[in-house]
Structure 1
Amino acid sequence: MKTTVDIPEALLREARKLAAREGATLEVLIERGLNRVIAEARQNPPFKLRRASFKGKGLSPGLRNGSWEAVLGRAYAGRGS
């Protein structure tokens, strides 16, 4: 399949030099690079935060319009802080 890709000149120059040293084509280098990026992405899938709400009701009524200090105070109440 053919496609058009914009590559910065400096990167293209380096890629052509490397291809010449290795006796490969630019196409082979690009394919190898894409395969590496895809393999790495498969090994390290993006982090997804699990849904962790409790019954989906949000903050307690006394905290809905409260400050962060009020939330922390309620969280640490009775814990010596």
Structure 2
Amino acid sequence: MRATVRLNDALLKAAKREAAKRGETLTALIDPGLRLVLAKPRPAPRRRVTLPVCRAGGGLLPGVDLNNSAALLDILEGRR
């Protein structure tokens, strides 16, 4: 069966070069690749995830600086 397909110029040139290097037609090169793509199952669409929002009051403890990772590590490991 014949079909007309529009390909990117660089892709078509590379495919023709590869087919010539293998000693086969462009159709013989494209056919197995297309079969692989069609046989591969499509991933399920990703569902949107809604993350919980904390509405509790409070905040950071006095002296905690979120921009100082070394100090945060000290607090988390009980060195401060």
Q: CA RMSD in A?
A: 2.8
For structure 2, the residue ranges without an aligned partner over 5 or more in a row are: 48-52, 60-80
**Aligned residue pairs, count:** 56
Q: Does 1:46 align with 2:44?
A: yes
| 2:54 match: secondary structure | helix
* Counterpart position of 1:16: 16
Deviating above 3 A after TM superposition, structure 1's stretches of 4 or more consecutive aligned residues are none
TM-score for both structures, normalised by structure 2: 0.51
The answer to which structure has the higher helix fraction is: 1
- Look at both structures and tell me which one has the larger radius of gyration over its CA atoms: 2
1:48-67 → structure 2 map (5 Å cutoff): 48-49=46-47
Q: Distance in 1 between matches of 2:4 and 2:24?
A: 20
Task: State the match for 1:25 in structure 2.
Answer: 25
Normalised TM-score (structure 1) = 0.51
Shift of 1:48: 4.9
Q: What percentage of residue pairs aligned between the two structures are identical?
A: 40
